[in-house]
Chain A
């Protein structure tokens, strides 16, 4: 019986509301087209002749070149670099979620000396310029033996993963804390009275409820670490350890940039992200439902 703002259900609404419903539907549709266009462009360019990519603005190729995709797939040695990328991105996501959901809980629920100051400090880190931290980071990694021509694959990846976790930290803290703040405090108080420890409240009540926040933090960090280019290119010295985006650079070793090859490579690289995204999105929607029921 509720009549909500900008409702999309047409039944039993006045004419004006029908009008607005139509307008909002059309706007959503237009937005949908704009959202999907570059993605379609990527697919269409991967199927075009190289010259056509830059000179034919139509989405439909004059002639479909499947062989580009097949050729790129074969040359990319996909599984090796896919595994490399996975070995970096998955620990980053897991580490980020664990460490910063803990921190988010600490900042949201518990009390300790200097909490607010520490929180504001972390928030300040969001706006610290990241552009010139590469050099000192590499010096540190060197001091820890995590970089260099003699570092093992494991050490190199650790050197990639931990700074990336730290880099995503302030945002994750912020999102987790905001999310935990939105949960009713009675939940925690009741559990504490029932004899649940602080750790128990976090692990058994707050964390399961935080699936939407976990999904948001997870998706964001997965995408950014999967697509990362500059930092991995600085840290990794052995071509066998390259991630997918790094390896992609070597597909077009021609005199001229092969745009179609590049697009085919991009398509293959983002494919895992899209699959992971669809997979995570289910949890995300389920989490939303859980949060709405509370």
Chain B
């Protein structure tokens, strides 16, 4: 839907350009017509210089076997044997199916990743929307609350990991609270991060925790843009709070939801620092994620940058497709209505 809108606009601008080329119009005028590009030019330039090469490089590298000691470069094209070898599609084949051990781990990680990518974005949206609405109504009376709520954004990474790890310990606050509430049967006697089926959910809670503040900021900004008259009109029509939430707030916040979802999905697939620091992918690979596998091949024990690149590109394809689906679901009609 949104795609077709994009393409139709694209063809329209192309048509504009074609009509612009008819004789009589000067080059100056044509340049002027496209002068909006000047605003974008610095961004494009900086990408051409510092982004393009790295992307092409990592794509080409995914067809080589290389551990980073001999020289591998595109300009000039060098792949210095024996430390570097052209490997064709072997990297992709290896981790997708051929090398049993590596492939098994990859698919296990992918499975965990899909769970994470489903649960974390959904929970982030739900929780942060509710908090934003509550905060928005509470108004400016609680700026302190806002500041505190954003502390997760500034707390240093390593402190976050250790703090949460200590919460999850067998004698940590979480188990203590459950026991005190008479819910001892729910507690994890071997620690939350050390129990096979609890480790991944425990990690997801931390992921949600760290992604909520930014989502709240975005939702609050979004809520400010909603016209209060809409609510007044709805009240006159006899709508209750949930109706207004469902029929006014939620649809009008769709562009914000879209942003948050892209952010969250991307993080869910590319983030790996949490499992790296808190569980190392364990216990028994229950918190393996694809990002962690890539990290292991890119910087870690398995060092083979060709496979790291290849996995990276498979992940790219997946996230790209998911983002397109997200685009279809949440990119709102606002753009079309604007035209």
Closest residue to A165 on the B side, CB-wise? Answer: B46
Whether B17 lies near A227 (C-beta < 8 A) is no
Q: Given A128-B316, A292-B224, are A162 and B171 also a contact pair (CB < 8 Å)?
A: no
Q: Which of B146, B155, B270 contacts A129 (CB 8 A)?
A: B270
Whether A274 lies near B154 (C-beta < 8 A) is yes
Those of A23-42 within 8 Å (CB) of chain B: 24-25, 27-28, 31-32, 34-39, 41-42
Q: Given A102-B42, A128-B316, A288-B221, are A5 and B241 also a contact pair (CB < 8 Å)?
A: yes
**Minimum C-beta distance from B271 to chain A (A):** 11
Whether B266 lies near A137 (C-beta < 8 A) is no
Whether B164 lies near A132 (C-beta < 8 A) is no
Closest residue to B168 on the A side, CB-wise? Answer: A57
Q: For chain A, which range describes its interface: under 10, 10 to 19, 20 to 34, or 35 or more residues?
A: 35 or more
Q: Given A36-B148, A162-B50, are A5 and B245 also a contact pair (CB < 8 Å)?
A: yes
Which residues of A sit under 8 angstroms from B39, Cβ to Cβ?
102-103, 105-107, 110, 198, 202
Those of B29-68 within 8 Å (CB) of chain A: 33-40, 42-44, 46-47, 49-51, 53-55, 57-58, 61, 68
Q: Given A4-B231, A5-B241, A128-B55, are A24 and B50 also a contact pair (CB < 8 Å)?
A: no
Q: Which of B34, B134, B135, B305 contacts A112 (CB 8 A)?
A: B34
B14 beta carbon closer than 8 Å to chain A: yes
Residue count of chain B within 8 Å CB distance of chain A: 111
Those of B134-181 within 8 Å (CB) of chain A: 134-135, 137-138, 140, 143, 145-160, 162-164, 166-167, 169, 171-173, 176
Which residues of B sit under 8 angstroms from A219, Cβ to Cβ?
153
Binds B, one of A71-79, A174-182, A235-243: A174-182
Which residues of A sit under 8 angstroms from B259, Cβ to Cβ?
174-175, 178
Whether B43 lies near A216 (C-beta < 8 A) is no
Whether A8 lies near B138 (C-beta < 8 A) is yes
Whether B235 lies near A3 (C-beta < 8 A) is yes
Q: Given A5-B133, A129-B312, are A113 and B14 also a contact pair (CB < 8 Å)?
A: yes
Which residues of B sit under 8 angstroms from A270, Cβ to Cβ?
154-156
Contact with B along A142-165 (1 / 0, CB 8 A): 010000000000000000001101
Q: Which of B54, B167, B214, B308 contacts A137 (CB 8 A)?
A: B54
A12 beta carbon closer than 8 Å to chain B: no
Which residues of A sit under 8 angstroms from B157, Cβ to Cβ?
227
Which residues of A sit under 8 angstroms from B135, Cβ to Cβ?
28
**Minimum C-beta distance from B211 to chain A (A):** 12
Whether B36 lies near A277 (C-beta < 8 A) is no
Whether A2 lies near B224 (C-beta < 8 A) is no
Whether B224 lies near A41 (C-beta < 8 A) is no
Which residues of B sit under 8 angstroms from A57, Cβ to Cβ?
166-167, 169, 171-173, 176
Whether A122 lies near B37 (C-beta < 8 A) is no
User: For B40, B51, B163, B294, which residue has the most chain A Cβ atoms within 10 angstroms?
Assistant: B40
Q: Given A32-B145, A212-B221, are A9 and B137 also a contact pair (CB < 8 Å)?
A: yes
Those of B226-252 within 8 Å (CB) of chain A: 228, 231-232, 235, 241-242, 244-245, 249
A130 beta carbon closer than 8 Å to chain B: yes
Q: Given A112-B35, A259-B162, are A166 and B218 also a contact pair (CB < 8 Å)?
A: no
Which residues of A sit under 8 angstroms from B213, Cβ to Cβ?
35
A195 beta carbon closer than 8 Å to chain B: no
Whether A185 lies near B35 (C-beta < 8 A) is no
A6 beta carbon closer than 8 Å to chain B: yes
Closest residue to A213 on the B side, CB-wise? Answer: B221
Those of A84-115 within 8 Å (CB) of chain B: 98-100, 102-103, 105-107, 109-115
Question: How distant is the Cα of A110 from the Cα of B35 in the complex, in angstroms?
Answer: 8
Whether A39 lies near B155 (C-beta < 8 A) is yes
**Minimum C-beta distance from B298 to chain A (A):** 5
A291 beta carbon closer than 8 Å to chain B: yes
Q: Given A8-B137, A106-B37, A112-B34, are A129 and B224 also a contact pair (CB < 8 Å)?
A: no
Closest residue to B228 on the A side, CB-wise? Answer: A2
B309 beta carbon closer than 8 Å to chain A: yes
Whether B232 lies near A277 (C-beta < 8 A) is no
Which residues of B sit under 8 angstroms from A216, Cβ to Cβ?
217-218, 221
Q: Which of A2, A129, A269, A277 contacts B313 (CB 8 A)?
A: A129
Whether B244 lies near A102 (C-beta < 8 A) is no
Whether A198 lies near B36 (C-beta < 8 A) is yes
Q: Which of B17, B134, B148, B220 contacts A27 (CB 8 A)?
A: B134
A139 beta carbon closer than 8 Å to chain B: yes
Which residues of B sit under 8 angstroms from A42, Cβ to Cβ?
155-156, 159, 163
Whether B36 lies near A32 (C-beta < 8 A) is no
**Minimum C-beta distance from A268 to chain B (A):** 10
Contact with B along A272-285 (1 / 0, CB 8 A): 01100110010011
Closest residue to B334 on the A side, CB-wise? Answer: A181
In the assembled complex, 21 residue pairs joining A and B whose CB atoms fall closer than 8 Å, in A order, are A6-B241, A8-B138, A38-B163, A42-B156, A42-B163, A98-B42, A111-B13, A112-B34, A113-B17, A127-B316, A127-B320, A132-B305, A133-B58, A135-B72, A139-B57, A162-B50, A165-B46, A169-B47, A181-B338, A270-B156, A277-B154
3 tightest A-B CB contacts, nearest first: A110-B36, A106-B39, A129-B312
